[in-house]
Amino acid sequence: MKKILFCMTALFMLAGCESVSKYSTADANAPVKTRMRACLVSEATAKFQSGTLFAKGLSATSDELVTICMKKLALQSSGISAESQSTAAQIIQNLQNFGTAN
């Protein structure tokens, strides 16, 4: 798994300006490996863009990305992901309305 992450990071560095969106998307019917790869690419890209991809060592970063993606895929598989997002958006909206009401 670490080799895959290292190769993807190297690919990002070589590709530079090329869009990686074709590698970071997968539909719900895609095989688990494809969805995992898409999640890893997406998370690594987000960390790279925020400047935190290289803040930790390679091992710590790859472990973190794998943990994040495994959690996301588990939640998606159980159907909790969409429900949680909707609930979180609703809570934020309620808090925002409460804050503007005062």
Per residue in 49-61, pLDDT (tens digit) is: 888 888 888 889 9
SS3 string, the chain, reads CHHHHHHHHHHHHHHCCCCCCCCCCCCCCCCHHHHHHHHHHHHHHHHHHHCCCCCCCHHHHHHHHHHHHHHHHHHHHHCHHHHHHHHHHHHHHHHHHHHHHC
- For the stretch 80-98, pLDDT in tens is 776 777 888 889 888 988 8
Examine the pLDDT at 73 and tell me if it is beyond 60: yes
How remote is the C-alpha of 78 from its chain's centroid? Answer: 17
Examine the pLDDT at 14 and tell me if it is beyond 60: no
Tell me the C-alpha distance between 74 and 11, whole Å: 27
